[in-house]
Amino acid sequence: MGRVSFDDSQVAALGAGLPAVTDNTGVSDHRQEATADVSGYPRRGLFSRTANKVAAVVLLAAVLLGLSLVLVVGDEGREYVVKGASMSPTLADGQLVLVEPGHSPQRFDIVVYKFPLDPDRRFVGRIIGVPGDLVAVRQGSVWVNRERLDETYVAEPIRYQVEPVVIRAGEYYVLGDNRNDSYDSHVWGSLPADNVVGVVADILPGAYSETGEEP
């Protein structure tokens, strides 16, 4: 698939037919401060070297705002334990997941990925947009290609909004299921495909404990 280029007027035209943006004035939302912190960085695609220099600072903000870190616990590097609540209620803190590498993610797949601002860290999220998709957030819901997604796995309506964005070749749009407490593509932009570690193939029962016992 070739690289697609859109100017502002074309993106606006693509957004025609989506519900109008409503005013967020007065909504208390800590992610608004985080967005300001990264406003100088690219909203889509790979991050610049300048952004990487402040990775530690942004990563700290990300953890506080909501990112589910995953740690390798299996000998073969396929079992991960989730640390955090940004994928709640689908994945709980301490949940074990089995990851299959080498697969091209599809929409709605849960993936483990390298955080673009710190590739040594692994996080987990759900693929919402694939290359060529038009993604927007309006009226408490995600819209893809002008269709409202029926997301039964999300606990509550979304309290933020995202202008229509076209997902380019070699990128994905990834969100946490705990939409109002997740630091994800709606803040830092699309995820490079090369950062995807693998697709979550199974959610294992129980919770991980360092003693090997269920808490």
Hey, what domains does the chain have and what are their CATH numbers?
30-206 (2.10.109.10)
- Note the pLDDT of residue 69: 63
Is residue 209 among the annotated active site residues? Answer: no
Running DSSP on this structure, what letter comes out for residue 191?
E
Average pLDDT over residues 14-35: 40
Structure confidence at residue 155 as a pLDDT band (50, 70, 90):
confident
* Phi/psi of residue 16, nearest 5 degrees: -60, 135
Q: What pLDDT is recorded for position 177?
A: 96
Tokens representing 16? 């025609």
Catalytic residue (one of 28, 39, 48, 86): 86
Residues 6+ apart with CB under 8 A from 167: 129, 130, 131, 132, 133, 134, 135, 173, 190
Distances from the Cα of 1 to the Cαs of 110, 166, 168, 169, 171, in angstroms? Answer: 23, 14, 9, 7, 12
| 112-122 core/surface letters (b: 16 or more CB in 10 A; e: else) | bbbbbbbeebb
- 72 contacts 197 by C-beta, under 8 angstroms: no
| Contact criterion met (CB below 8 Å) for 207 and 213 | no
